[in-house]
Amino acid sequence: MPETTHRVTFEPDGRTVDVPRGWTLLEAAQAGGIALEAPCGGQGTCGGCRILIPDGPPEPSEAARRLLSREELEGGLRLACQVRVRARMRVVVPRETRRRDAPILTEGTGFDVPLIPNVRKRAVHVPEPSVTDQRADADRLLDALADEGLEDLTLPAPMLREVPRRLRSLDFHPAVTVVGREVVHLDRPTAADACYGLALDVGTTTLVGYLVNLATGEVAATASRANPQAAYGDDVIARIEYCGREKRGARTLQTLVVDAINEILAEACRRAHVRPSVVYEAAMVGNTTMNHLLLRLPVDAIARAPFVAASASAHSVSARGIGLKMHRRGRLYTAPLVAGFVGADTVGVILATGMHASDGLRLAIDIGTNGEIVLGTRERLLACSTAAGPALEGARIRCGMRAADGAIDRVDIEDDAVTVRTIGDAPATGLCGTGLIDAVAAMVAAGVLEPTGRMRPADEPADAAPGLARRIRTADGETSFLLAEGAGRARDVLLTQRDVREMQLAKGAIAAGVGSLLEAFGASLDDVEAVLLAGAFGNYIRPDRARAVGLLPDVPLEKIRFVGNAAGAGARMLLVNRNLRHVAADVAKGVEHVELSRRPDFQTRFADAMIFPGG
Q: Please give the residue ranges that form the binding site for a second copy (CB under 8 A).
A: 1-5, 7, 18, 20, 88, 129-131, 133-139, 155-157, 160-161, 163-165, 295-298, 300-301, 305-313, 315, 317, 337, 339-340, 582, 585, 593, 595, 598
CB of 231 to a second copy, least distance (A): 24
Nearer to a second copy, 246 or 460 (CB): 246
- Non-local (6+) Cβ contacts of 359 within 8 A are 101, 377, 378
| Ramachandran quadrant class, 477 (left: phi over 0; alpha: psi -120 to 50; beta: rest) | left
The three-state secondary structure class of 405 is coil
CB of 614 to a second copy, least distance (A): 37
CB of 598 to a second copy, least distance (A): 6
- Non-local (6+) Cβ contacts of 154 within 8 A are 181, 182, 183
CB of 324 to a second copy, least distance (A): 14
- Please state, in angstroms and as integers, the Cα–Cα distance from residue 400 to each residue in 36, 173, 430, 481, 493, following that order: 45, 56, 6, 14, 9
Nearer to a second copy, 103 or 298 (CB): 298
The reply to whether omega before 306 is within 30° of 0 (cis) is yes
The beta strands (E) that lie in 86-195 are given as: 89-92, 119-123, 175-179, 182-187
Distance CA 548, CA 437 (A): 9
CB of 100 to a second copy, least distance (A): 29
Nearer to a second copy, 87 or 487 (CB): 87
590 closest CA partner among 20, 33, 10:
33
Distance CA 376, CA 356 (A): 8
Nearer to a second copy, 219 or 520 (CB): 520
Nearer to a second copy, 222 or 291 (CB): 291
CB of 142 to a second copy, least distance (A): 9
The three-state secondary structure class of 55 is coil
Q: Which long-range contacts (CB under 8 A, 24 or more apart) does 308-316 make?
A: 308/340, 309/337, 309/339, 309/340, 311/337, 312/288, 312/336, 312/337, 312/338, 312/339, 312/588, 313/337, 313/585, 314/581, 314/584, 314/585, 314/588, 316/180
Q: Residues 49-76, buried b or exposed e (16+ Cβ, 10 A)?
A: bbbbbeeebeebbebbeebbeeebbeeb
CB atoms within 10 A of CB 3: 10
| Ramachandran quadrant class, 526 (left: phi over 0; alpha: psi -120 to 50; beta: rest) | alpha
Q: How many CA atoms lie within 13 A of 298 on its CB side?
A: 8
Distance CA 295, CA 288 (A): 11
Nearer to a second copy, 100 or 328 (CB): 328
Nearer to a second copy, 298 or 590 (CB): 298
CB of 22 to a second copy, least distance (A): 12
CB of 559 to a second copy, least distance (A): 32
CB of 607 to a second copy, least distance (A): 22
CB of 342 to a second copy, least distance (A): 10
CB of 312 to a second copy, least distance (A): 4
Nearer to a second copy, 1 or 475 (CB): 1
- Please state, in angstroms and as integers, the Cα–Cα distance from residue 306 to each residue in 125, 162, 211, 309, 598, following that order: 56, 48, 37, 10, 10
Q: Residue type for 283, please?
A: A
- Please state, in angstroms and as integers, the Cα–Cα distance from residue 525 to each residue in 106, 212, 332, 522, 605, following that order: 22, 38, 39, 10, 16
The reply to whether omega before 12 is within 30° of 0 (cis) is yes
Distance CA 394, CA 21 (A): 50
CB of 216 to a second copy, least distance (A): 28
Nearer to a second copy, 15 or 296 (CB): 296
CB of 133 to a second copy, least distance (A): 7
Pairing of strands 407-414, 417-422: antiparallel
Nearer to a second copy, 116 or 411 (CB): 116
